[in-house]
Every structure is written in structure tokens, then in C-alpha cells.
């Protein structure tokens, strides 16, 4: 069997040890010979710590995998079979800036949703498209597994503006499989879930345990839906759930419970504390554990970063592609008519049949009006965000922000955009004028 070269761009991420663990656990079916960990100069210290831990994990597992850490992306990408992207342009400092700037303007601050996700996308899309140019040249047959957030928007930009074979991935769907398997005390293979939506805006329209629909268990309050550690734990109104006729994901709370979440965020903001501050503290503690020479495995504390089962989702998908076993995974791909109320060329997150040469979305059927309304609006925001990042037109950026449900007015969007351009000047420098339009 051909040996595999895997490249992880953003190799200094605190999530990397979980990915290494997943590759080790699947070493019998994934003949990986090399893992290249790539980062930028500002992330060099973290990259060295992660590489040291990865080498100890590989040695303890007695796997013949070579770990190479480098700042040279092009050298790493040459002849890669799989590329995994998990970058954060501006690192956690800019995530904090995004959250504080949003809350300064009285809107929800979140890294992938609303104004925060918008800023992150505009910083990230140009960098990701540069990476894709290198992949096209140096590893044209490689699959790109994108974890970089906002995953749906980033994946859509790649689908529209590169020729790379890309699939976007999130840990939200696998968390639901884990939750339902645990609730009903069955193995995951006995759980089947129907998803409709886009990344971080995905509804479960039905789920089955051993072939029997159990959706009403959740709608009636018998079984609680999954809540991620990084999403505020607010209860769903049972009347709302029953009339929705579907299970929302945790990120829906930013849309369906906006006032409650914003009030809580503003309270913490006034105290000088947001989710970004919490993540920075968790990350600091994680790297203290990682650099300890006695650490030989991924610590449990990593789950506090909100990425539980991240590696399992990634490695399961990678294995399915490699083995061409035509399994079903819930991933981010081009729509191609799977959700009939959305354009064909946008990125959606649905169940897909995974093959070595292609990943095909499964038709979802009719989408109910209560789902369709919010889905179409947020998807339109995503389309405009991709266009703004690529065309650099300030008017497109303004329209993207204005149409987002969490931005209350065009005036607020304009004020936010002005402050965003200043706060992100180092990253938006080539797009400050957005093609000649004026703020």
C-alpha cells in the first residue's frame, strides 16, 4: 500500500495533538509515513512544542511516522497526499479584538457568527487562496480537509476560486452522533441523522436509532439536544422546538436567543472578559502541559477548547477518502442542487457519499419555511462575504454585514465596518480601498 504524506498547515495549533492521536489510532488502515507540521514565524515557538509532543506520541505508539516541523509551506506541500488546514490569521489576539469590537458596537461577538466571523473571514480568505495556489502547483492531486473557521465560508471561497479538491469539516455533526449513541445506549453505527443547512447553521430534521425515528423524543423534551462546551447553555423553549419541527445546533442560539446571549456577553464585556479571554487562558495551560517532556498523549483539558472529537471526524473522513469505502459523512461541499432553495455553487453542510475521487451531497428534499427563511439570509451573507474578500469592494462588504441577522441596521454595519478596517489594517492593507469604493 502506498505510503502517505500528510501536511498540517497551522501545525502549531493546540488541536494538533488530537489529530496526531487520531492518525496513530488508525495507523493500521492509514499507511502514513510523514506528517509535516507547518506554521508561520509568529507561531514558531508553539510549533516546536507541538512537534516535540507529536514525536513523543509517535515514539510511544511505536509507529514508523516521520514528524517534520517547518516554516516553509512550499517545501512541506510538495507531493502531499492530504493537506489539513487549521489556521488562525492574527492568532488569538485578533479573535479577542473581533469579540471586543463587536460588543463595543452592541452586537454579539463570536468567532464564526456575525461581525466576528465576518472579520475572521476577510482576514483568512486571501491567505487560504494563497495556500491553494501552492497546492495546485505542488500537490495537485491532494485532498484539502479544511477546519479553518468560519469553515463554510472559507470552503466556499476555495470551491469558487481554486481548483483544489476541498472538503470542509466541523465537529458539530459528530457530536450529535456521539450524543444520541450515548442517550440511547447504542453504537454509533446504529444512529442515522438527517442534516439540512450550512456550517454552524445546521438543523436536524430527523434522526433514527436502529431505523426508528426518535426526533419527537427531543422535541417533546425526553432527550436534550447536544450542547457544545463553547456555546452558552440556555434552554430551548419546547413550544418553539415543536413548531420548528427540527433540532437546532448550538450556534442557532445566537439567532434564536439573541437578546439573552447578547445581554450575557455585554455583562462579561464590561468586566473585561469574553470567550476569547477564556480560550487564551486554556491555551496557555495546554501548552504548559504540552511542553512537559513527560507528556506522551493528548490531555483531557483539550476538550475545553470546544473541539471535542475533532480528530475523530477528520481521520474518519480521511480514511473514507483513502479507502474509497463510500461511507456517509456530514461535511461541507458544493451544493449542486442538494438543497433546492440555495444556489448550486454555494457551500452547504449535509450528509455526503465519500469516494476517493469525489464527495457527493445527498438530496435533502423540501426545506420547511421556518428553516428556509433564516438559511437563505445567512447563506446570502456568506456569498457576499466571499465576494467582498475576493473583489475587495467596500460596498459588497457593507451589504454582507447589513444583511446578517445579528446586525440591526445599515448604519450599524457602516460604523462596524469603519472600525473593523482600522483594527485589521495590518491584514486588510491590500483591501483598504476595496476597489476604489469609499467608506
User: Residues with catalytic annotation?
Assistant: 251
Query: Residues 6 or more apart from 120 whose CB is under 8 A from it?
Result: 89, 94, 95, 98, 111, 112, 149, 150
What angle, 0 to 180 degrees and rounded to 10, lies between the N-to-C axes of helices 394-403 and 369-391? 160
Measured CA to CA, the distance from residue 60 to residue 142 in angstroms comes to: 29
Measured CA to CA, the distance from residue 135 to residue 120 in angstroms comes to: 22
Find the distance separating the first CA and the last CA of the chain, reported in whole Å. Answer: 57
195 SS3 class: strand
* Backbone Cα Rg of the chain: 21
DSSP-assigned states of every residue in 254-284: HHHTHHHHHHHHHHHHHTT--HHHHHHHHHH
Closest of 158, 139, 159 to residue 4, by C-alpha: 139
DSSP-assigned states of every residue in 133-179: HHHHHH-TT-EEEE--SSHHHHHHHHHHH---EEEE--SHHHHHHHH
Half-sphere exposure of 232 (CA within 13 A, CB side): 23
Asked whether the beta carbons of 47 and 69 are under 8 A apart, the reply is: yes
Closest of 306, 320, 309, 327 to residue 22, by C-alpha: 309
Largest CA distance in the chain: 60
- For residue 71 the three cell numbers come to 516554516
Asked whether the beta carbons of 38 and 21 are under 8 A apart, the reply is: no
Report DSSP state, residue 291. T
Measured CA to CA, the distance from residue 34 to residue 7 in angstroms comes to: 8
How buried is 341 (Cβ within 10 angstroms: 0-12 exposed, 13-18 middle, 19+ buried)? middle
- 150 preceded by cis ω (within 30°)? yes
- For residue 134 the three cell numbers come to 501552492
Amino acid at each position: 500500500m502506498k505510503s502517505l504524506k500528510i501536511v498540517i498547515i497551522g501545525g502549531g495549533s493546540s488541536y494538533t495533538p488530537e489529530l496526531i492521536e487520531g492518525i496513530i489510532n488508525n495507523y493500521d488502515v492509514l499507511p502514513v509515513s510523514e506528517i509535516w507540521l507547518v506554521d508561520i514565524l509568529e507561531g514558531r515557538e508553539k510549533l516546536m512544542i507541538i512537534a516535540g509532543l507529536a514525536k513523543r506520541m509517535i515514539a510511544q505508539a511505536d509507529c514508523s511516522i516521520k514528524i517534520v516541523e517547518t516554516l516553509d509551506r512550499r517545501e512541506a506541500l510538495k507531493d502531499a497526499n492530504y493537506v489539513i488546514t487549521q489556521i488562525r490569521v492574527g492568532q488569538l489576539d485578533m479573535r479577542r479584538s473581533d469579540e471586543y469590537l463587536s460588543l463595543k458596537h452592541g452586537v454579539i461577538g463570536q468567532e464564526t457568527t456575525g461581525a466576528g466571523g465576518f472579520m475572521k473571514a476577510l482576514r483568512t480568505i486571501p491567505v487560504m487562496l494563497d495556500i491553494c495556489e501552492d497546492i495546485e502547483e505542488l500537490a495537485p492531486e491532494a485532498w484539502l480537509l479544511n477546519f479553518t473557521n468560519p469553515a463554510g465560508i472559507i470552503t466556499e471561497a476555495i470551491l469558487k476560486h481554486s481548483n483544489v479538491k476541498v472538503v470542509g469539516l466541523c465537529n458539530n455533526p459528530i457530536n450529535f452522533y456521539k450524543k444520541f449513541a450515548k442517550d440511547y445506549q447504542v453504537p454509533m453505527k446504529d444512529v442515522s441523522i438527517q442534516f439540512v443547512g450550512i456550517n454552524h447553521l445546521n438543523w436536524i430534521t430527523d434522526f433514527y436509532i436502529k431505523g426508528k425515528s426518535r426526533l419527537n423524543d427531543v422535541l417533546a423534551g425526553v432527550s436534550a439536544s447536544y450542547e457544545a462546551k463553547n456555546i452558552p447553555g440556555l434552554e430551548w423553549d419546547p413550544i418553539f422546538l415543536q413548531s420548528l419541527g427540527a433540532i437546532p445546533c448550538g450556534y442557532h442560539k445566537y439567532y434564536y436567543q439573541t437578546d439573552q446571549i447578547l445581554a450575557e456577553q455585554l455583562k462579561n464585556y464590561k468586566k473585561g472578559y469574553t470567550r476569547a479571554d477564556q480560550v487564551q487562558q486554556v491555551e496557555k495551560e495546554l501548552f504548559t502541559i504540552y511542553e512537559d517532556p513527560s507528556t506522551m498523549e493528548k490531555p483531557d483539558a483539550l476538550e475545553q477548547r470546544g473541539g471535542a472529537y475533532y480528530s475523530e471526524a477528520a481521520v474518519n473522513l480521511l480514511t473514507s477518502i483513502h479507502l474509497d469505502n463510500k461511507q456517509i459523512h456530514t461535511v461541507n461541499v458544493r451544493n449542486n442542487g442538494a438543497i433546492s432553495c440555495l444556489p448550486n455553487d454555494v457551500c452547504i453542510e449535509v450528509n455526503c457519499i465519500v469516494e476517493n475521487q469525489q464527495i457527493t451531497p445527498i438530496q435533502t428534499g423540501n426545506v420547511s419555511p421556518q428553516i428556509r427563511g433564516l438559511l437563505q439570509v445567512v447563506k446570502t451573507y456568506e456569498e457576499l462575504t466571499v465576494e467582498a474578500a475576493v473583489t475587495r469592494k467596500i460596498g459588497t462588504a457593507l451589504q454582507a454585514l447589513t444583511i446578517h441577522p445579528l446586525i440591526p441596521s445599515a448604519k450599524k454595519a457602516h460604523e462596524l465596518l469603519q472600525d473593523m478596517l482600522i483594527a485589521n489594517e495590518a491584514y486588510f492593507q491590500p483591501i483598504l480601498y476595496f476597489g476604489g469604493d469609499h467608506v
